[in-house]
Structure 1
Amino acid sequence: MTKSPVPIAIVGLGMVADGHISAYRELPDVRIAAVVDPRAERTREVAEKLSVPGFTSCEEMLRHVRPAIGCVLSTVASHRPNTELLANAGAHVLCEKPMTNNLQDALAMAQVCERNGVQFMYGSSYRYLPTIVRARELIASGVIGDVVLIEERGVTGAGADKFKPMSTAHYPEGTPGGGGFGMFDHGVHLLDIFPWIIGSPIGRVLGRGNYSGAKMSTEYAVLEHENGAMGWLVYDEATVTSDMPWEGLFASGITWQHGLGFGGDPGQWLKEAASIRVHGTKGALRIYYYANRMFLSLPEGTREIIVPAAAAPTHFGRQLQTFVEALRHSNDAPVGPATGIQALQTLLAIYRSADSRRWETVER
């Protein structure tokens, strides 16, 4: 690939697309060449703002524009058809998480890219958050010893009567799905990040997840990593948090505001700041990944670990930049389809566990 700005197409203009577009516009190596969304009004709004052509389908866009990379940010159910259209047209693909909610589609997406000689990059955007990167370095250095437990808890909402699940356009009715901060749409991040930061894959799981169109219940997963560390995820968006107002912290960057997208200002108080806890044999880490702050606890006390100020949503830009650089050097995507398929395999094992009521091995 040449060193002129790489033309990309944004396929899908939902809430998360605003963050991607904001980050991409800061990259000198990238040029947004087209935007796509089935909602004509939304497409027109974004196209006019960016002064680029807008289309209501990926197929229509490819008749007029030939992007080098198609950024698939569309509904999960449309990931496979959009990936196939882009790959068949010779475009590389960067696809948001999760790849799909069924293994057949995920494998087909990887295969169509391989068949057409294009690269598929899985949108593991948390790998580009400063706190996650620094936490991985600290764990590898041994400062907290051997990891024994890693966990995230997301229990929030305004009661069951106000809970709004993800649209069936994302997860067809009766298939694995749920809410935007639940096991499938959000937990998939952690099922990728947990093995990545502690350096050990997940061997087996015990838990349950929600289905699209069904009554929502508390979702959970107990994760057994191959090095013996245990993981724990629990989510419920149809109740009310029990956190006290003073249990949050001040953010040092823009954060994700559930239902609103990326927003807020540095110094904003987050009373329910999402975080990952990692416990080792010598100490522990508290990782506020969107608030962009992290704390190290050792027997002698707790101190803050200062991380770069490049918080969300600029991590989307760093993710795309690494993809562009890999393509320019004829290298494989930094995070390929195997990573997305593995996260999906772990999710599906959690759902199988709910049916079997026993531990399920994660397939590879």
Structure 2
Amino acid sequence: MQKVAVIGAGKMGAMHAKAYAAMPNAELVAICDPRLDAAEELARTNSTRSFERIEQALREVDPTVVDICTPTPTHIDYIKTAAAAGKHICCEKPLARSISQAMEAARLCEEAGVTLFVAHVLRWFPEYRRLRDLIAGGVIGETVEVRTTRCGKARPGVDHWFSNLQMSGGVVLDLMIHEFDWLRSCYGSVRRVYGKGLYNSHIPDIDYALVTLKFDSGVIAHVEGSWARPSGFVTSVEVAGTEGLLHFRNTESKALTIERKHKGGECSEDITPPNMAVVDPYNQELEHFIGCLDAGITPDVTPEDAIEAVRICEAALRSITTGEPVTLA
């Protein structure tokens, strides 16, 4: 039985706490937040204890796992504290605000002998899992190019920290990192990054970026992210291959389709996963993490995966700032 302390009583902390509270092989033993009233409210909802500081929870309830759901710039300090105490760690994406902090986090966990799992939840969304399986299975031949979008409205966060792009990294680190990690899981290493966007435009509560990735495999991906939608959340993926096209859009009734080339023309087929509307990907990723701890195996998202996702984000922001492409070593 893994004993879990969740740090952060905001939206993601509440989702993670609910998931752990429902697991048969986990016990939610603490909610920690400097805003003690928020910690107390979430703790009451989940019938557990509340703390203002993680150090208090470590002393009094001795968790085996610390789950970090706090603003990005705070991740590294919480990871230092948890790793030094010998606790396994789940950290919300992104792992850190900078590549140097991400590498330090991974090093500290390795030296402490604890598992570091970064919650890149897109890998557990059924439509994206189905897409990845179809790509790997070669149903559209070899991938040539990919286009993705992830668009919503800006979230305020505690003290409006999302609006401070130097803290949050804007849409690149908040939204587009989902696609960067998922695309790496499909196509491997990224060679070059080129981006355009509003990162340095200082427009209140609006950000936008369009980033092109060139993979070592030759695949080209165009990744779009936006905080400019007044309402609603739109995601889409289009994968063009030598033998056909995969298309997903979350607002369409036939959300996932495949178009295949034939000698007599083309045909389109609805291949939307039947369980798409009922699967909770947040529950599934955390069940995977706890299951890996119980089994003593490495989770599907490794520290190296999380580091590379931050590396791509950092390169994208540098490209947006300088106007030049960035080649990754």
TM-score in same-fold range (> 0.5): yes
Among 162, 175, 179, the residue aligned to 2:166: 175
Alignment partners' CA distance in 1, 2:20 and 2:275: 18
Secondary structure, aligned partner of 1:33: strand
1:90 & 1:217 partners in 2: Cα distance? 39
Local SS of the residue matching 1:238: coil
Q: CA deviation at 1:98?
A: 0.4
In structure 1, list runs of 5 or more residues that go unmatched.
Answer: 158-162, 241-256, 259-271
Corresponding residue number in structure 1 for 2:124:
128
Amino acid at match of 2:192: R
1:246 — aligned with what?
Answer: none
In structure 2, the residue matched to 1:294 is: 256
Specify the code of the residue in structure 1 equivalent to 2:256. Answer: M
Shift of 1:49: 1.4
1:354 aligns with 2:301: no
User: 1 CA distance for matches of 2:198 and 2:56?
Assistant: 35
How many residues are matched?
322
Letter in 2 for 1:304: D
User: Where is the helix percentage greater, Structure 1 or Structure 2?
Assistant: 2
Report the AA paired with residue 260 of structure 2.
Answer: L
Question: Secondary structure in 2 aligned to 1:275?
Answer: strand
Partner of residue 200, structure 1: 188
Secondary structure of 1:74's match? coil
Structure 1 residue 316 displacement after superposition: 1.9
> 1:232 corresponds to which letter in structure 2?
H
TM-score (norm 1): 0.80
Q: Which amino acid aligns with 1:20?
A: H
Distance in 1, Cα, partners of 2:283 & 2:165: 34
Check the 8 A contact 1:94/1:122 in 2, yes or no.
yes
Contact 1:77 1:169 (8 Å CA) reproduced: no
For 1:274, the equivalent position in structure 2 comes to 235
Report the CA distance shift for 1:326/1:155 in structure 2 as closer, same or farther (over 3 A).
closer
Q: Is structure 2 residue 291 aligned with structure 1 residue 325?
A: yes
Q: SS at 2:212's partner residue? A: strand
> Secondary structure of 1:25's partner?
helix
Whole-Å separation in 1 of the counterparts to 2:175 and 2:69: 15
> What is the correspondence of 1:109-258 to structure 2 with a 5 Å cutoff?
109-155=105-151, 170=161, 173=164, 175=166, 177=168, 179=170, 182-197=171-186, 199-208=187-196, 211=199, 214-215=202-203, 216-238=206-228
Worse-matched range after superposition: 301-310 or 204-213: 204-213
Q: Distance in 1 between matches of 2:42 and 2:158?
A: 22
Give the partner amino acid of 2:228.
Answer: A
By how many angstroms is 1:322 displaced? Answer: 2.1
Deviations 1:30-59 (A, max 9, x none): 111111112222111111111111111212
Q: Structure 2: which amino acid aligns with 1:352?
A: R
User: Would you say the 8 A contact 2:199–2:208 is kept in 1?
Assistant: no
- Per the TM alignment, residue 104 of structure 1 is displaced from its structure 2 partner at its CA by 2.1
How far apart, CA to CA, are the structure 2 residues paired with 1:351 and 1:17? Answer: 27
Instruction: Work out the CA distance in 1 between the residues paired with 2:91 and 2:278.
Output: 18
Once the 2 structures are TM-superposed, how far is the Cα of residue 99 of structure 1 from its aligned partner?
Answer: 0.8
d(CA) in 2 for partners of 1:13 and 1:355? Answer: 34
8 Å contact from structure 2 (residues 18, 46) kept in 1: no
**Structure 2 Cα separation of the partners of residues 239 and 314 of structure 1:** 24
SS at match of 1:185: helix
What is the rounded CA distance, in whole Å, between the counterparts of 2:200 and 2:5 in structure 1? 29
Report the aligned-residue RMSD: 2.7
- Give the corresponding residue for 1:14: 10
The answer as to 2:307 corresponding to 1:341 is yes
* Superposition deviation, residue 144 in structure 1: 0.9
Paired residue secondary structure (1:118): coil
Residue 102 of structure 1 and its aligned partner are, at CA, apart by 1.0
How far, CA to CA, are the matches of 1:333 and 1:172 in structure 2? 32
Q: Confirm or deny that 1:316 pairs with 2:282.
A: yes
- Kindly provide the amino acid, as one letter, of the partner of residue 193 in structure 1: W
Q: Give the letter aligned to residue 319 of structure 1.
A: E
User: Share of identical aligned residues, percent?
Assistant: 25
For 1:312 and 1:80, how far apart are their aligned partners in 2? 34
CA distance in 2, matches of 1:65, 1:213: 46
- Aligned in 2, Cα 1:303/1:22: closer, same or farther, shift over 3 Å? farther
1:242-272 alpha-carbon deviations (Å, 9 max, x no partner): xxxxxxxxxxxxxxx86xxxxxxxxxxxxx5
**1:311 Cα deviation from its structure 2 partner:** 5.0
Partner of 2:94, secondary structure, is: coil
Deviation sequence 1:340-359 (CA, Å, 0-9, x none): 11001001111221233222
Q: Aligned to 1:86, which of 82, 86, 91?
A: 82
Instruction: Provide Cα deviations, 1:95-140, integer angstroms capped at 9, x if missing partner.
Output: 1100111122112211211121111011111111111111111111
On the 8 A contact 1:175/1:211 being kept in 2, the answer is no
| Residue 212 to residue 62, structure 1, CA distance change in 2 (3 Å) | farther
Q: Distance in 2 between matches of 1:200 and 1:222?
A: 15
Relative to structure 1, is the Cα distance of residues 54 and 168 closer, same or farther in structure 2, using a 3 angstrom cutoff?
Answer: closer
